């Protein structure tokens, strides 16, 4: 990562961290009445986005 991209990375990380409480509330409040497949997708979505986010910043340029 170049020094020019560091402020963007910090802002993006803070944005991801800001979404976590709302996502946890949504998963706890609304997935109980969903079918199992839909509940799994809802629970898996934020960890998948977090892994993609981390991979994009830690992976470097190909």
For residue range 3-48, what is the model confidence (pLDDT) as tens digits? Answer: 787 888 889 889 989 999 999 998 989 888 889 999 899 899 999 9
Indicate if the pLDDT at residue 2 is higher than 80. no
Instruction: Look at residue 3 and tell me if it is in a domain.
Output: no
For 1-62, list the strands marked E by DSSP: none
Q: For the residues 44-53, what does the mean pLDDT come to?
A: 90
Six-digit token string for 43:
């629970």
Does this model's pTM top 0.75? My answer is no
Instruction: Look at residue 2 and tell me if it is in a domain.
Output: no
Instruction: Look at residue 23 and tell me if it is in a domain.
Output: yes
Q: Of 22, 13, 25, nearest to 53 (Cα)?
A: 13
Distance, in Å, from the CA atom of 23 to the CA atom of 46, rounded to the nearest integer, reads: 7
Q: How many residues does the chain have?
A: 62
Cβ atoms of residues 36 and 62 within 8 Å:
no
Please report the pLDDT score of residue 8 as a whole number. Answer: 85
Full domain range(s) for residue 53: 12-58
Please state the domain count of the chain.
1
Please report the pLDDT score of residue 14 as a whole number. Answer: 92
């Amino acid at each position: 990562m170049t020094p020019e991209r560091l402020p963007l990375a910090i802002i993006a990380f803070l944005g991801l961290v800001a979404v976590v409480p709302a996502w946890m509330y949504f998963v706890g409040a609304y997935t109980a009445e969903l079918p199992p497949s839909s509940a799994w997708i809802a629970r898996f979505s934020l960890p998948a986005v977090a892994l993609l986010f981390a991979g994009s910043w830690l992976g470097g340029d190909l």
